[in-house]
A = this chain, B = another copy of it.
Amino acid sequence: MKIVGTVGSSTYEAIKRDVIFGKLSPGTKLKLGHLKERYQASLSTLRETLSRLASEGFVAAEQQRGFFVTPVSKEDLIEIANLRVLLECHALELSISQGDADWEGNLVAAHHKLRRMEDKMISGDLSDKETWKRYDWEFHLALIQACNSQNLLSLHAVLFDKYLRYQMLVLTYRGKEAVDEHQQIFEAALERNKDIARAMLKKHIVKGLEHTLAVME
């Protein structure tokens, strides 16, 4: 039994994915007529979708001039990385203070899945970037899951996706370094060592930022 959502929700997912994973390049004009064919939805449904994406910041809307894929810039990337540090480190600290056994269990599971995937990537199999990034996402989410603030989690989700778009844009893999950072954050979190965990997470994000900035030349 397959549960299909509304046309609206699936076009939302599709366009968002295409923006994040670069199938729709930054700055591209999103003409409704074209999108209609590409995503098989009506103009109204598309406008609804694009409005949502615009208020999350993946799309830019100009009054009576239509929609565009939000442009990228170094400044924007830096802002997003800094906000991720601020929010994610804060959430991590809360999570470490408040997390229970369920939190630990999910974290262990998420780290395990990510680790397996990363081992595969390191040994040269770069075939499934999307799954890899999904596991990365799930690991970072598992870390802060116990922060006990829905508002914080949802702000973080959007930020993470924006950051992810930049990573997908440069398309290069940071390799063993990032794997080690994940490992260190993971261990510090399980040991409930807030300061180390926080410092490692910050380092992880900042290193990722520098790497991406460097590739953007």
Report which A residues bind B (CB closer than 8 A). 5-6, 9, 44, 47-49, 51-52, 54-57, 63-64, 76, 79-80, 82-83, 86-87, 90, 149-152, 154-155
9 contacts across the A-B interface (CB closer than 8 A): A5-B63, A44-B44, A51-B51, A51-B52, A76-B151, A79-B149, A79-B151, A83-B149, A155-B155
Cα distance A83–B51 in the bound complex, in angstroms: 25
Quote the shortest CB–CB distance from A171 to chain B (angstroms).
23
Number of copies: 2
Q: Of B6, B55, B79, B87, which is within 8 A of A64 by CB? A: B6
Quote the shortest CB–CB distance from A197 to chain B (angstroms).
18
Q: Of B48, B86, B90, B149, which is within 8 A of A48 by CB? A: B48
Find chain B residues with CB under 8 A from A54 CB.
52
**Of A44, A51, A64, most B-chain CB atoms within 10 Å:** A51
When the two chains form their complex, are residues B80 and A151 in contact, meaning their CB atoms are under 8 A apart?
A: yes
Quote the shortest CB–CB distance from A150 to chain B (angstroms).
7
Cα distance A52–B151 in the bound complex, in angstroms: 17
Cα distance A55–B9 in the bound complex, in angstroms: 13
Cα distance A64–B169 in the bound complex, in angstroms: 35
Closest chain B residue to A154, Cβ basis:
B57
Find chain B residues with CB under 8 A from A90 CB.
86
When the two chains form their complex, are residues A151 and B48 in contact, meaning their CB atoms are under 8 A apart?
A: no
When the two chains form their complex, are residues B86 and A149 in contact, meaning their CB atoms are under 8 A apart?
A: no
Cα distance A57–B52 in the bound complex, in angstroms: 11
Find chain B residues with CB under 8 A from A57 CB.
151, 154
Cα distance A52–B87 in the bound complex, in angstroms: 23
Closest chain B residue to A64, Cβ basis:
B6
Quote the shortest CB–CB distance from A11 to chain B (angstroms).
12
When the two chains form their complex, are residues B87 and A86 in contact, meaning their CB atoms are under 8 A apart?
A: yes
Find chain B residues with CB under 8 A from A56 CB.
55
Find chain B residues with CB under 8 A from A150 CB.
76, 79
Find chain B residues with CB under 8 A from A47 CB.
44, 48
When the two chains form their complex, are residues A83 and B155 in contact, meaning their CB atoms are under 8 A apart?
A: yes
Cα distance A55–B57 in the bound complex, in angstroms: 11
